[in-house]
Structure formats: C-alpha cells, structure tokens
Structure 1
Amino acid sequence: MTGTPTDARPGVPEPLEDEASYGTRVEEAFIEERGTPFFLLPKDWQLIQDWREGGVPADTVIRAVRGAFEKRRARGDVSKISSLSYCANAVEVLWEMERRGLVGAHGARPAPESVPFDGTQRLRSLAAALDEAASASPAGADASAAAEAIRSAREAVEALDPASGLEALEEALAKTEKTLVKKLEKALGDVERESLDRAVEEEAGDVSTLTKETQRRIHAAIRRRAVRRAFGLTPLTLLGE
C-alpha cells in the first residue's frame, strides 16, 4: 500500500509529494496497522498537513507509525488507538534522527512471510448484510431506488474473487461502496439530504485552516458514514472487527 521507498542523500530535501498521495499513503498505513475500519479526524488531517508542509517524507511518517504500533504489540497492549496523534512523537523523533543521519533514512521494513489471503467468509458476511439492508430504508427515501442500489452492490460483492488478495479486494470494495453511497444519497428525500448536509458540517467542525483537499476528504468520509448509518449499512471492508 505504501510503495517502495527511494534512496535519498542526507540533508538534501525531497520534492514535496502530492497532497492527495501523501495523505492517502499515511492514512492507509495507519488503518493497516490499526487493523480495523477507521476514518481520520480533522486533527489527524491537520497533523498530516503539518508533516507534509514541514518536509517530513511520507515514508518517514509511515515507518514511524509502524514502529509505534510494533512497540505497542511488543508490550502486549491490544487496546485500539483512536487518533493518529498517538504516533506524533514517534514521527518527530524518527524524522530528527534521520535528518541527523543517526538512522537509515530509507530502511526497508522486512517483508512478512507470504500467506495466501482468502476473503471468502468476510465477503459472504458483507453480501448477507447488504441483502438484509435492502429491505429497509429511512423515512422519506425512495425505497425502490435504495433497494436496487443495495442489490447492485451485493451482486458486485458476490462477483469478487476471494483469492485476489487483500489490497485488490479492499480497492474493489471501496469503489463499490462509493458508488452505493452516491446512489443512496440520491434516493434520500430533499428534507433528508438537507439534514445530512447539516449533520456533516456539524460533525466536521471548523476545518477552514486545512487545505481544500483535506477538507474534501474529511467531509466525504463523514458523509459516507452518515449515509451508511441512515440505511443501516455496514462498511464494505474486509478489515472488520
């Protein structure tokens, strides 16, 4: 998910990575280490923005995030981390060490043993959850359109190859959910859509200090979750509890 780190000369700044790519890579690394579905908070996106603008390479952030989680696992701590800020000190320390040449700036993480991934059971659970949700819609929604959208998503999930690998499946599920959420939002009545807009704005809070891209990502994540809740849908991901 994170790509292959590139070599860098100590003291030579790297070109600023595209904001969307930088944010996505850090977000995916955090979710991967956390092991369960999660969307970053506004303060987390502000942290990512500060790291990027401060010149901290995404690879450094990712290594620090992984290192922080590995230390927790070594201590036997299995509690869930609710914010990327948990890794902030680890990022600061690693970046300072790398800049001073005290650690390798691009040390590769040892690859885990290759174990074939089989998502059969989880995909079946997701399809069953969609099938159950197809029979219920919130008040004011176009029940027929909503049911058709959910059935279409269920068919897309059932058509996935469970042996195609975690990354490929997660990407396909994310696309399916994005399409489903758009259709379901259209199925909402005018009053419900206005209520949804207000709820998203309230939950996001003041994000005016963040970049437009970061604001968009925050609002999109909150909106997806709000629509899923309205229709009683589970997130389409294999990274379930």
Structure 2
Amino acid sequence: MSEEPGRRRRGRPTEIVRRPSGQGAPLSHRPSDDQPTSAAILDAAQYVLLREGTKGLTLVAVARHAHVDVTTVSYHFGTRAGLIEALMDRLYADPTADFAERASTLDDPASRFRTYLQGVRRMYEDRTATQAYFEIATLALRDPALRVRLGRLLTWTVAAFSEAIAAQPDALPPLPLAELVYAAVDGIEMHHALVGDSYPTDAVLDLLETLTAPYLEGSEPRADSPTQPDRGPTPS
C-alpha cells in the first residue's frame, strides 16, 4: 500500500483511515506523490477551519486559500470528508506517532512519559492547533461517520501511548491509566485555551507526572504515599 501524501504513517493502523463508499476516498485510491502540495492544502484547511468554522470548510474555500485548483484538492483527498480525515490525522495521530518515535530511543518509562509531557507543553503553546483540535472534535460529535472514525483514531492513539511508555514490551501499563492520562491532557488543554496564560499549566502537568510515576514503575502508590489524600480518622 502506498503512503498517503502529506501524512506520516509510521505504524498507524490502516482501518482508521478508511470510510464507507462515498464518504471519503479510500487510502489506496489516493496518489502518493507531491507531498508539499498535500501539506499546503492541509495548512489551508486548518486556516479555513479556524477562520470560517466547520460550515465554511469546503473544498472550494480550501483550494482558494491553498492557491490551487479545486480539482487538485479532490485529487489528493477525494471529498470534503476525506480532507477532514487527513486533518484528523495531522491533529490527533501525527503527534502520537512523533512521540512514539522519540520514546523508542529512551530506556525507562519515566523518561518516555516526561518526553510525552514536553510534547504536550509544546502543543499547548500552539493555540491554532488547539482550536482546530477541538473544532474537529465538535464536528465529529455531529457527524456519525466522523464520530466513529475519530473514536477509532483515539483508541489507536491511547494504545500507541500505552505501548510507548511500557516498561517491557509484554508488560503494558493498564489501559485505564493511558485513558486517564489522555483525558487529563485534553482537559488541561481545554482549560488552558479558555483561561489563557494565567492557567497553571506547568504545575498541573507536574502533578500529573508525580501521580502517574508509581504506576509507570509497575506498582501502585502505598497507603502512606503522600499522593494519597488525607481522609482523616476512620469513623468508629
């Protein structure tokens, strides 16, 4: 199978980029050349999404901002749904794939998780990507086909994250832990986007790292661990 232009595959499961007939061009039907053009089209799609919202995200509008003919957009991405799929990959899957590559060079889970949080901090600094991220999520909630596909994509990203921070290849961290971390990161990102620079992003992420560390080391916090809340005396 040829690599889709403008996307980095790197082990991403193929089922998350396929849609039913008529709802976006299948991956195998898309060309494999001219990656700069595909990247420019995705840049334009993200710009249109942020400026005009999901209703304004049309092939014509994207082609106009990318300075290409609308047939060029169709050639690379098929339909509007296919273009949105590619934008989903850029915003959701590509950061996970990049993290997995960096994590593969590190020996211990704590270092890999710290590298992940460093990437999260960089992501938070990109306000346009954050806004586009949540615009796509909102669109998926209203579109059943996109919701299913984005759900599969999120399932893959969580599983890839769990695998990347595993202490041993055959000893993955509990999936609920990976789900919890991803949910926390999304919530922190939303709060940071809404509150602005006064939000204590670094302190919250540092606390997340502290709370997660015992589980990455393969053991739950002890009953006397300082991370456990003080519940006061036990009622008699």
Fold shared, TM-score > 0.5 on shorter chain: no
Q: TM-score, normalised by structure 2?
A: 0.24
Q: Give 1 or 2: higher helix fraction.
A: 2
Structure with larger RCO (C-alpha < 8 A, sep 6+): 1
